[in-house]
Structures are given as structure tokens and as C-alpha cells.
Amino acid sequence: MTGMFTKTAAIAAAGLALTSGANATLISFSDPSGLAAEAEFTLLNPNQIQIRLQNTSTGVPMGFESADQLLTGLSWNSFGVVGQTITGGSGITGPTSSSIGFSITDVGPGDDIGGEWGHGAGPISGLLNHFISGNTSGLTLFGGANLDGPAGADGPQAGLVASPILVALGGVGAIQDEIIVTINLSLAQPNLDFLKDTELLVEFGSSAAFIRVPTPGSLALFGVAGLAAARRRR
């Protein structure tokens, strides 16, 4: 399956690898341009899922600007439990991650970033039914101190930048290169089997690019995804 990257009119294909354990599933998104991400889901208990989200990019499409390279969201279509919703949560930087160029307060490993990231329900602005994001559309912040720019989410600022940085940030605040989010759920979640059957999507920038994993259940080990992109204002 292929998709069109409209900003540069390039055609690209993206790949996915999925590895599952008893209570954890690692999903790796990649595109020939070098854009890449990892999302590791861990079922902590029936009402909480932890998501480790990392920008693993090694390149970007031609024409990408500083903010376009930032990983700003992850979304998926279904939990596999009727009526399941995200009710809240929290977010911290990864154990080796820190911010770069935050305008108010820079953070180090394990620090709270709930004032810059949150959760929401879609579909909205290209995102699927359930999402975590640093962009503004439809977002409920996890809650915490304002670290960068105006109060509230102001993505793509505070998005995740790869290590090493691929395009000079030019004053845009970012986190290098991982966050760990815990989402609270409205209903008991028995397992992570929904990840084998749901569509997933990662977003870069403010709708600068999406890497999408199609449905249904062909994700036993490998699947195929498409890269679609459009520049839109949020």
C-alpha cells in the first residue's frame, strides 16, 4: 500500500513491525524517507495502559521544516471493549530524555510533561478515535506545569525530536526523544489484543505527516502502512 506525501509530492511506502509479550506490545512505524517511531503499549492493570512513545527517525522527507520533524501524536481506532474511553492520565519524559529549548522550564529524565501533552477522542484533524497528543485539536491536557510557550498545549512545540536532530530546531522547543504516558480507562481492559486488529497512526508536526497502519488483523509480525500528509493549520 502506498500513500502520497503532498507537501513534496513524493510517493512513499511505510512499514510496521509488531512484537507482543504477555502484557506488552511494541509497534515500530517506519517510512523510506527515514521518518520512524516506536510505540510500546503495556497493560499495567485492567484500568491503566502505559504507552512509551519515541521518535526513532533517521531522515525526513524533502522540504520538511524544523517543527515538521517532531513526533506529536499517536492514535488508534478501538480498544476492542465497547464503550471504552480514556478518562485521564499522566506523562513523563523517558529515562534518558530531556527537553531542548523550552521557553519557560527545561526538564530532564522522568519529569512531568502533563502540561504539554494530553488525550482526546476523535476522529479529528486526521487523528483516529482515541489519541495522545501534544497538538491542540480536541485535546484534554493530562495536567501539570506549563513548560513551553502559552499555557496549554501548543504543539508541535514540545513534540518529540529524534536523536540526533535531523533539521535545526530554530527555536522550537522539543523533547529528545521519548515520553512515557499512562492512560486511565473507563472500563476494565482484559488485554492488548485490540492492537492486532485496530488501525493505528502516528503524527509528525501539525499534520505535516501521518504514518498509518491499516486494519484489520494482519499484524502478527509484519504489516504494511502508508504515509499520507497534508499541511493544515490547527
- Bridge partners of 93? 179
* 14 band by pLDDT with thresholds 50, 70 and 90: very low
Amino acid identity of residue 137, one-letter, is S
Mean pLDDT of 72-77: 96
Dump pLDDT digits (tens) for 159-181: 999 999 999 999 999 999 999 99
In the chain, where are the structural domains located?
3-228
CA 89/CA 219 separation, integer angstroms = 27
The pLDDT value given to residue 11: 23
Mean pLDDT of 120-146: 92
CA 44/CA 22 separation, integer angstroms = 11
Mean pLDDT of 78-103: 97
DSSP 154: -
The pLDDT value given to residue 122: 87
CA 192/CA 58 separation, integer angstroms = 29
